[in-house]
Amino acid sequence: MKYCISIFVALASVALSGCAQEKLEIKNPFPTRQELVQISAKSVELDAVEQPEVAQVETWELTGPLPDQIGYRAHTPADAVEEAFYNAIGSDTKTLQGSESMHCAAREVGHFVLEHDKLPYESLQQFIFARCGVMTTAHGVQYRTRPGATQADGIAQAEGAVESVRKHADQVQHTVDAGFWRGQKGDQVIFVTTTGRKIVELQPTPMEAAPGGKVVLQGRVLLPKMSYAYGLINQGDFGYERCKTDPSVPMPAFRIECAANTADELAYFQLAAKAKSSVMARSLLVQLVWPGGELSKVYRSPATRRALVKAQREQRAAASRAEAQQEGGKPAAGSELEGGEQDGSEQDGSEQEGGEQAEQAQAVEPVPLVASSGGASGDFPDYFVTLLNKVREEANMNPVDHAAKQSASIQSVTKQYIAANREDDEATANKLIMGVMAGWDVDGPVVDAGISSSWIMSRDPVQLLESMLETPGGRQTLMDPMASQVALGIHDHETSMSSIVASYAFVPDEHPNRRTKRVLDALEEQREAFGSRAPKEDSRLRSVSRKLAEKIEKGDVGVVEARDLLMDRVSQRYRKPVYGSAFVTHSLDEIDFPKQLLTPKNLPVSIIVAPFTKKGFPWTMYAVVIVFPQQPKANIAGL
């Protein structure tokens, strides 16, 4: 089973208002380089990961019945075996629940195992949980087979599964949703248990998108201290879009609207939340919608795999050509390595059909993963980035560079991160992730970072990329159009692999007017939820704002000082009291604006936007100052 944490970075904006001479405190959320070195020096021994056998298929049809919406519904036991499980689970409603969706997932996994004698590969497992309407994260599957098992055997298995689920709930300290299924093929009887952590409640949501691809998600975050929820949705083979969060809905409730691409047969979406005091987001849920409006019960391997297999073939061909040139020879004429067509001879007088599927199913050859010492070999990270750039090329995106020195830094703490997660040491795990995101060994002015950590049932770079590109969180890390460099650390479990992959975006070389527009666009989007009009920049004070931005960037003035200087000029211009807000943020598109900027129906503003650096802080930051004249009460929305 895949355990993926997809982590998305959002530095908390610092806001100040008024005329007092405040000091803008910018707390550094990142551990120092020395702290990372100290953690990496600690000896860690990892127990071997028990790797179940898995089968990978191109297509698989689920048996059903299947739901047409995402939502909770209790399962009605069909026999004494199911009663032994679901009645016991239902008696402990504080930490456990048994649902129809989890029962569906257990049934569909069970049918696959009965057919293949192996678990489905993680891509199909994810499809099963999503298609069954499961509303949890960190999914787990356990199964046992017993030839000729009786009903009494089944009841004993169900009771044992209940105890296992209870222990799991005690460990994770979240409500656990569970399912149990007994199935049989011939003399072989199988018992399957599925589990997941419930950290979000979602109102019943149709799996078929509304006309135009509209998907509305409403619910409540169950994790404490979360201040903001947001969503991402896949677009096409490689893209993703950020969904719109309604700022008028107070947390822990949320209302999020996603725009699916109606040309997509299906699309994964992902919900996440972050605490106000944290720079990291927590993945809440990964689920599916059908933008075209027609639900399917057929799984097909991801389209991204075709591009990855093609990229790997090209990479191997290039390596063979280079080797042949070094040896003074060349590939055989007409061979694939020379770029010509392969021998088209038929076997047994029949033609090969389904060329695209044949390419997709072609076996891939893993490259050496780790050295015998347990450290990352140089081959894997370079090869991973090469394959990634082939995918980015397919998506008409700029290539990224491999930050080799940063990869070595990530590699030095990968085992420690795995150990912290296994021991539920959240403080250490968070510190290590923050250290990776800091990018101390990245050569460039980092302004943003994306990170994904995962465990996959493979040691193949193609399958690692495929797994990451299947969900919006992974795409946000790897397919960010602003990303400049990528680094990764890996740990070999002999038959599986854990990884930490990070991407780093640099400060874009853009005109000051472009930066200002990005802030105004973000402000306009949030004002729409309050029925307010788009803000308008006062062009007569634009030159003043730009000069102050230059001074901030050079370090000649501080953010608060620049705000106060601009407030003086705006006050002189309008001859009335003015208000000013100052922010420090890593993203001009994701500022959490105060209500004073959202509720006035009309809002003339003067605005400063400037990148700047702070000693001891690994990232470049943006200073944003917005000043506006006092508004009459009649101009305030809702009055």
Task: Report pLDDT for 282.
Answer: 87
Residue 313 predicted with pLDDT over 80 = no
Task: Report pLDDT for 355.
Answer: 37
Using pLDDT thresholds of 50, 70 and 90, give the confidence band for residue 278.
low
**In 10 A of CB 270, how many CB atoms?**
26
Task: Report pLDDT for 279.
Answer: 65
Residue 528 predicted with pLDDT over 70 = yes
Distance CA 315, CA 333 (A): 19
Distance CA 624, CA 605 (A): 12
Give the range with max mean pLDDT: 52-56, 300-304, 310-314, 542-546.
Answer: 542-546
CATH of domain 57-198: 3.40.33
Task: Report pLDDT for 290.
Answer: 96
Give the rounded percent of residues in the chain with a pLDDT score beyond 70.
85
Across the range 158-185, mean pLDDT stands at 91
Taking all residues of the chain, what is their mean pLDDT, rounded to a whole number? 84
Across the range 106-115, mean pLDDT stands at 98
Specify whether the CB–CB gap between 58 and 354 falls below 8 A: no
Residue 280 predicted with pLDDT over 80 = no
Of 47-51, 289-293, 352-356, 508-512, which range is least confident?
A: 352-356
Question: Which is more confidently placed, 44 or 401?
Answer: 401
CATH of domain 304-324+372-506: 3.40.33.10
Let me know if the fold of 10-40+509-635 is the same as that of 304-324+372-506.
Answer: yes
Using pLDDT thresholds of 50, 70 and 90, give the confidence band for residue 365.
very low
Of 167-176, 242-251, 331-340, 573-582, which range is least confident?
A: 331-340
Which structure tokens are listed for 506?
């640099």
Specify whether the CB–CB gap between 598 and 63 falls below 8 A: no
Task: Report pLDDT for 49.
Answer: 67
Task: Report pLDDT for 639.
Answer: 36
Task: Report pLDDT for 25.
Answer: 67
Distance CA 6, CA 11 (A): 17
Residue 147 predicted with pLDDT over 90 = yes
Residue 63 predicted with pLDDT over 60 = yes
pTM of the entire predicted model:
0.81
Using pLDDT thresholds of 50, 70 and 90, give the confidence band for residue 455.
confident
Exposed (0-12), middle (13-18) or buried (19+): which is 377, by Cβ within 10 Å? middle
Using pLDDT thresholds of 50, 70 and 90, give the confidence band for residue 627.
very high
Which structure tokens are listed for 538?
């006062």
Residue 125 predicted with pLDDT over 90 = yes
Residue 123 predicted with pLDDT over 60 = yes
Across the range 110-132, mean pLDDT stands at 95
**Pairing, β 298-300 against β 59-61:** antiparallel
**3-class DSSP assignment, residue 168:** helix
Specify whether the CB–CB gap between 140 and 218 falls below 8 A: no
Task: Report pLDDT for 10.
Answer: 28
Q: Which fold has domain 10-40+509-635?
A: Pathogenesis-related Protein p14a (3.40.33)
Question: Which is more confidently placed, 439 or 348?
Answer: 439
Using pLDDT thresholds of 50, 70 and 90, give the confidence band for residue 12.
very low
Using pLDDT thresholds of 50, 70 and 90, give the confidence band for residue 24.
low
| Ranges of each domain in the chain | 10-40+509-635, 57-198, 202-300, 304-324+372-506
Residue 635 predicted with pLDDT over 60 = no
Task: Report pLDDT for 376.
Answer: 39
Q: Which fold has domain 202-300?
A: Immunoglobulin-like (2.60.40)
**Main-chain phi, psi angles of 386, to 5 degrees:** -60, -45
Task: Summarize pLDDT for 370-394 with one digit per residue, the tens.
Answer: 332 233 345 889 989 998 998 999 8
Across the range 454-469, mean pLDDT stands at 85
Residue 346 predicted with pLDDT over 60 = no
Q: How far is CA 21 from CA 318, 561, 624, in A?
A: 62, 8, 17
Question: Which is more confidently placed, 313 or 545?
Answer: 545
State the DSSP H helix or E strand holding residue 203, giving kind and residue range, or none if neither: none
Task: Summarize pLDDT for 220-273 with one digit per residue, the tens.
Answer: 999 998 999 999 999 999 999 999 999 889 999 999 999 999 999 999 999 999
